[in-house]
A = this chain, B = another copy of it.
């Protein structure tokens, strides 16, 4: 059985030495002293390590069951969920007006990573609730907010996103669920939704479904879709939970992983709902949830990798097998530990350099979101909008790869369920699919985000990277180890963007055939940039002689590893992109 301990030291380094939270000039950030964040992270670590992690395998083995129409979650989930609620963890970064603690999203992200690493399936119940909370907070009427938000902040009521139907997921324009106006401001919703995570549960007193449907007579396609709040149990004017609404769980899906979360077929049969936001503008409201969810899924990607990596390191230190090629290191034992072998170290360094880089990117992304919301900063909003598909797509592709690598360290012991490595792989696999499959992220990046706002966010990103390199290149070691490789990778990315601009207008396929490669290049460049920032912070600390020198040296080595071993991927991706779409599009469908 693997154990998990939150990387609080790395988190503190990011919050205070890389992102300089306390002095970042964002409302609310002035409270983020190292003492304060340290106390929060330590408490969250206790929950993650002692309460959630021990339930992870239980959730996988037992899964959820449907009993008389009600979902039963695995043994121990209810008690743990209550503990989360009672500790106030569910409303950490929610609006104090509705009972939240009003902390920055950045701090919520750090805490969230721990909960996801220790038990991803469990954390989805509150993660989905947070998404639904955000959508209602952004688009709800005062009455809707007053009715739903206080209960959702505490997770007395959980939330869901009901988008997908059997015949459509990505292409929401095809959706068929109907909403009939009742003349009293409410609607009756009818339709079937599938793949609804946390669709029902026995953890909360009510489930608040956000449901996409078409009001009768609405235009076809995505322009006729509205979003509705549809509670499992009707809610009285006084906030009391009343009679059952016309909502039922049709079935639980049997799936590859995240067994602890109930993936439901939901049937809406004349269920009463209220409109959230404007008629036919449902996609807009839905994307408030979706953008948050995409960052959250990008976090799941590296958070699963972190947990798997911790287990792999522990195994590699303990398992004795073979002798070091450069000289025996454990002469008194029958063999040396796995960790002496260069190929084992290579794979551990791949995992470590990815996971720490992705954590830095995700935390920075969370800070950009805080800046966008709390400072109403349009530039920050443009940048995080550009980065969202990269965070989601790159971090989940690579996070899954990292879990597979961690499993591989265990050899045959990784393939059996006993050590939990199979579960990390099976759980992480969904992150590449849900909230927009990664091919859709690539399409979003290349088809929408590159040209958004006249290309300003993209140009701004390149300028920022260039300026950062210029600012720090006097440091010869940093220049050689981190900044020069970053500059080369960034140039490759720019060359790809130029190719898309020059060819995409006359032949969209030329750009789209390279979209996934572009997303991966972008991921490498932005992780290279985060490693540069971490490198600068580590050098600064080493020069000042404060703190744990070994920690900072390890950071510099890990960053150099990323630059040497991962950034060269941009050349490969660029070559693929420049090959265009001819061979991609050549075959007839029957010739595949």
Chain A residues engaging chain B, CB cutoff 8 angstroms: 164, 167-171, 173-174, 194-195, 253-257, 263, 313, 316-317, 320-322, 325-326, 334-335, 337, 339, 341-349, 352, 400, 404, 407-408, 411-412, 414-418, 422, 425-426, 429-430, 432-434, 437-439, 442-443, 447, 507-509, 512-513, 515-516, 550, 554, 557-558, 560-561, 564-565, 568-569, 571-572, 575-576, 579, 581, 583-587, 589, 591-592
Residues of chain B within 8 A (CB-CB) of A558 are 583, 587
Q: Which of B173, B255, B342 contacts A584 (CB 8 A)?
A: B342
B557 touches A579 (CB 8 A): no
* Contact indicator B576/A412 (Cβ below 8 Å): no
| A346:B174 contact, CB within 8 angstroms | no
Q: Is the CB of B568 within 8 A of A422?
A: no
Give, as a whole number of angstroms, the nearest-CB distance from A206 to chain B.
Answer: 26
Instruction: Report Cα–Cα, A174/B407, bound state, in Å.
Output: 23
Do residues A584 and B349 form an inter-chain contact, with CB atoms below 8 A?
yes
Contact: A326 with B509, CB < 8 Å? yes
A557-B576 in contact (CB<8A): no
Residues of chain B lying within 8 A (CB to CB) of residue A437:
408, 411
A414 touches B439 (CB 8 A): no
Q: Which residues of B contact A316 (CB under 8 A)?
A: 589, 592
Q: Does B587 contact A554, Cβ atoms closer than 8 Å?
A: yes
Give the copy number: 2
A512 touches which of B167, B263, B343, B564 (Cβ 8 Å): B343
Contact B417 A322, beta carbon cutoff 8 Å: no
Instruction: Give 16 pairs: A residue, B residue, CB < 8 Å, sorted on A.
Output: A171-B322, A174-B335, A194-B412, A256-B415, A316-B589, A325-B508, A342-B509, A343-B512, A345-B513, A346-B584, A347-B516, A408-B437, A415-B434, A564-B576, A564-B583, A568-B575
Q: Is the CB of A414 within 8 A of B433?
A: yes
Q: Are B572 and A569 in contact (CB under 8 A)?
A: yes
- Contact yes or no, A442 B343, CB < 8 A: yes
Taking the nearest CB of chain B, how far is it from the CB of A88, in angstroms? 33
**Which of B254, B557, B561, B565 is within 8 Å of A416, CB to CB?**
B254
Least Cβ distance of A509 to chain B in Å? 5
CB-based contact B512/A322 at 8 Å: no
Min CB gap A510→B, angstroms: 9
Contact B571 A586 (CB under 8 A): no
| Cβ contacts under 8 Å, A167 to chain B | 320
A343 touches B417 (CB 8 A): no
B587 touches A557 (CB 8 A): yes
CB A427 to nearest CB in B, in angstroms, measures: 11
